């Protein structure tokens, strides 16, 4: 007789590691903007970790909201476009990978080997985010005046578009 073990329906370890790594990158990028934005990114990362420990979609989504607020604050403080785009890519990637880790863990279980699945998901998401960031960066450079408010508006439009594409 074969022993059957119960599935642990918690976020996967691989996805958790990938999400927290991306969140660390976002904190680093936010550190090049303002210290307040970096602290906001740190708070978002702590919330993201809590959401992954509990397997809670609401907490993971709240962490995404904290990342967004940190990006808004950094943009309003006049941060450079490059740092904002890097922080946005890291933040969105962290949120998406955390949500994916939660979803995969709920369906397949924490014990399942999901390394290949999650690496492909992470790579595809990163490609979409990089292309979107390149478009936003190009639009910012092409805009006349180069005022920081232009960068913030373009960043927000880009973030909304990227989240809409990634969420589908």
Quick check: is 3 in a domain? no
Overall number of domains in the chain: 1
- Of 56, 52, 63, which is closest to residue 26 (Cα–Cα)? 63
Rounded (10°) angle between helices 148-167 and 57-76: 160
* pLDDT band at residue 4 under the 50/70/90 scheme: low
pLDDT over 90 at 50, yes or no: yes
Q: In this structure, is residue 103 part of a structural domain?
A: yes
Between 35-54 and 81-108, two packed helices, what is the crossing angle to 10 degrees?
A: 10
Residue 2 lies in a domain: no
Which one, of 15, 61, 65, 69, lies nearest residue 38 by Cα? 69
Burial of 60 per CB tally in 10 Å (0-12, 13-18, 19+):
buried
Within a domain: 52: yes
Structure tokens given for 168: 């589908």
How far is the C-alpha of 145 from the C-alpha of 45, rounded, in Å?
35
Q: Is residue 156 part of a domain?
A: yes
User: Which residue has 């420990």 as its token pair?
Assistant: 53
In whole angstroms, give the CA distance from residue 13 to residue 145: 46
Would residue 69 count as lying in a domain? yes
Q: Dump pLDDT digits (tens) for 146-160.
A: 556 666 666 777 777
pLDDT of residue 139: 77
What range does the domain containing 153 cover?
13-167
């Amino acid at each position: 007789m074969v022993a059957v073990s119960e599935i642990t329906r918690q976020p996967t370890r691989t996805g958790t590691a990938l999400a927290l790594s991306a969140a660390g990158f976002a904190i680093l990028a936010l550190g090049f903007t303002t210290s307040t934005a970096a602290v906001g990114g740190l708070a978002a990362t702590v919330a993201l970790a809590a959401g992954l420990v509990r397997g809670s979609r609401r907490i993971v989504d709240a962490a995404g909201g904290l990342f967004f607020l940190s990006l808004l604050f950094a943009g309003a403080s006049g941060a450079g476009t490059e740092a904002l785009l890097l922080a946005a890519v890291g933040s969105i990637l962290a949120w998406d990978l955390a949500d994916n880790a939660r979803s995969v863990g709920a369906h397949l279980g924490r014990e399942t080997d999901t390394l290949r699945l999650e690496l492909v998901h992470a790579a595809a998401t990163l490609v979409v985010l990089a292309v979107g960031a390149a478009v936003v960066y190009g639009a910012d450079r092409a805009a006349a005046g180069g005022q920081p408010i232009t960068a913030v508006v373009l960043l927000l439009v880009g973030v909304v578009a990227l989240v809409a594409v990634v969420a589908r």
